[in-house]
Copies of this chain bind each other. A is one copy, B any other.
Amino acid sequence: MRPPNALYAQSGGVTAVINASACGVIEAARRHPDRIATVIAARNGILGVLSETLVDTSDYRTDQLIGMRNTPGGIFGSCRFDLDDEHDNPAQYQRIFDVLAAHRIGFLFYNGGNGSMHTARQLAESAQRRAYPLTVVGVPKTVDNDILETDCCPGYGSAIKYLATSMREAAIDLASMRSRRGRVFVLEVMGRNAGWLAAGCGLAADRHDAAPHVVLLPEVAFDEAKVLAAVKGCVERLGFCAIAVAEGIRGPDGRPLAQVATDSAGYVQLGGAGAVVAARISASLGYKVHHAIGDYLQRAARHLASATDDAQAHAVGVFAVEAALSGESGVCTAIRRTSSRPYCWHVDTVPLERVANLERTLPREFVREDGLHVSEAFRTWALPLISGECLPGFRDGLPRYWQPRLSEMPRRLPAYSC
């Protein structure tokens, strides 16, 4: 009898190496043709399941999988979409399982962050209730590094390799110039509740007085007087000061310093924390302040991906298949560290309920005592994650990414409106 198919989907904000996980899932599944017939990918995560917009990956040649692995963004598309509770919307779940059944899906590999792991959990539980034979394994990814129970999240290492490099380079530029007024550079990075990305900028500071000189984290209430004093001290010592600012920094009242907009779903778009910090420094200290905003660049910079991160992203995909085939379900793959020096790690699994919809912020021991930088413990923990370069191919001077026109499988069910 033909074995069942596997479904793979990408969800949430994408990363520079999420496609390495896709690649890992596809490659590992191909090694077990007796257990998994083919890997079908959903377009735009669970939305692609609901709309039955599916892609058969069995045609991809090995060189195309390598091209996929070296391309940032979600090759199959991602989404930000929360399923309703099944109790409130049974039709939604019925539709999903109709699609899974129509395509003989027996394995679900859902690649995402905290929220996506909640989706995976909802589907695993629903399958159990309806006795649909579905093995569900989550595959972690997020530049935010805020998934619990894994030592780090694939996508994070590449993001901070890019951010720390950018910080180092911009600060060298800043240091080159000379002017009567002090000079300040502010780099705004992502991170609404967790300061992992801002902390990662701190890796550039490999010696006393190296940039960044100040790191502002959402976990530490923004104390304006204290920050201004630190900036002033740095400028008086060096002539300049480079600062990493998480977009989600909050004042002592717990409210974000800056927010741009709220969409109809109530999702607050943060942004502008860097501009606010820049404006306050300029107004209070009279320095010349430049500010940069990393935005998508920090999660898409595949040209500066970490080889370690790429390897881990691939491994959590491979291991998801192996775990599924060994009978595990309702779990998420996770990175376990056994040693920092030398850096040793392996992949394990963790129950989805210990991960879903939970958020891991920066622990206190990763923040320097004064709250204005990272600690040595953070450096020791984070440095291995940015180790190694793995460049994409280049053509005509630019990275050559694989952007295929995905051919969608014929639909077997009537249309459905999400």
CB of A290 within 8 A of CB of B282, answer no
A359-418 residues at the B interface, CB under 8 angstroms: 383, 385-389, 391, 394, 396-399, 401, 403
The interface bits of chain A over 151-182 (1 if a CB of B lies within 8 angstroms of the residue's CB, else 0) are: 00000000001001110111011111111010
Query: In this complex, what residue of B is CB-closest to A161?
Result: B397
CB of A398 within 8 A of CB of B291, answer no
The answer to whether A172 and B263 touch (CB under 8 A), given A291-B270, A295-B290, A394-B389, is no
CB of A383 within 8 A of CB of B401, answer no
- Complex formed: what's the CA distance from A16 to B169 in Å? 9
Number of copies: 2
A297 beta carbon closer than 8 Å to chain B? yes
Closest beta carbon of chain B to A391's beta carbon, Å:
7
The total of chain A residues at the interface (CB under 8 A) is 78
Contact among B72, B169, B299, B398 for A203, CB-based, below 8 A: B398
Which of A77-85, A120-128, A228-236, A322-330 forms contacts with chain B?
A77-85
The answer to whether A270 and B278 touch (CB under 8 A), given A170-B295, A173-B14, A292-B295, is yes
The interface bits of chain A over 286-297 (1 if a CB of B lies within 8 angstroms of the residue's CB, else 0) are: 001011111111
16 A-B residue pairs with Cβ-Cβ distance under 8 Å, sorted by A, are A72-B172, A77-B176, A161-B397, A165-B399, A169-B297, A169-B301, A169-B303, A170-B296, A172-B403, A185-B295, A268-B279, A293-B293, A306-B397, A385-B397, A386-B398, A388-B397
